[in-house]
Each structure stands twice: as C-alpha cells, then as structure tokens.
Amino acid sequence: MLPKSCWKERFEEMKTKLMAMPEEELDPIHSATLNVLKEVGVKFPDETALKTLEKVGAEIDRRNMVARIPEQAVKEALKHYSNRGPSLLALS
C-alpha cells in the first residue's frame, strides 16, 4: 500500500492520463465500472462502511460483506465530492 503522501501525486498522474483519453473511450469504461459496482459489488470488511452504503441505497450481503452500489449513489458521490480530491471521496 502506498503511503498517504503518495496518493495525491498518484491521483493527479492518473487523472492527467484519463483526461488525455477521448470521451468516447472513457464512456464504456465508466459504464462497465458502474455495472460492476451494481451487479458484482465491492467487499467492505467493515460494518460501519456497510451501514453507510446501505443508507445510500446499496444492497448489502452481510454474510460476504459485499455492497452492491447503485448507479445513482455513485453519481451523487462523484457530483458532491469530485472537486475535493480522492481523500474526501465518500458516499456519506
């Protein structure tokens, strides 16, 4: 895992690379990502995180600690937090 001080630098580097991609190449990646979050989900081995995700509409599989996050929750989080940087991106 990268030290916290490296995250901002890595984020800016990746953001620059993504910004260089044409929009028509980014759209399928974004759509596929939203689909994975909704259909496959993400493992969150933390009950507090699962409760927070559940509040924003995620379907929670507590036995496997997986949250299936709906598209609208992702879009709201991106809209609300995207200008604040990666350390503040959150769903709550």
Q: What is the pTM (predicted TM-score) of this model?
A: 0.67
Residue 91 has pLDDT above 60, yes or no: no
- Residue ranges of the domains in the chain? 4-88
What's residue 89's pLDDT? 47
Residue (of 31, 42, 38) closest to 69 by Cα position: 38
What digits encode the pLDDT tens for the residues 12-46? 777 676 666 777 888 898 899 999 999 999 999 99
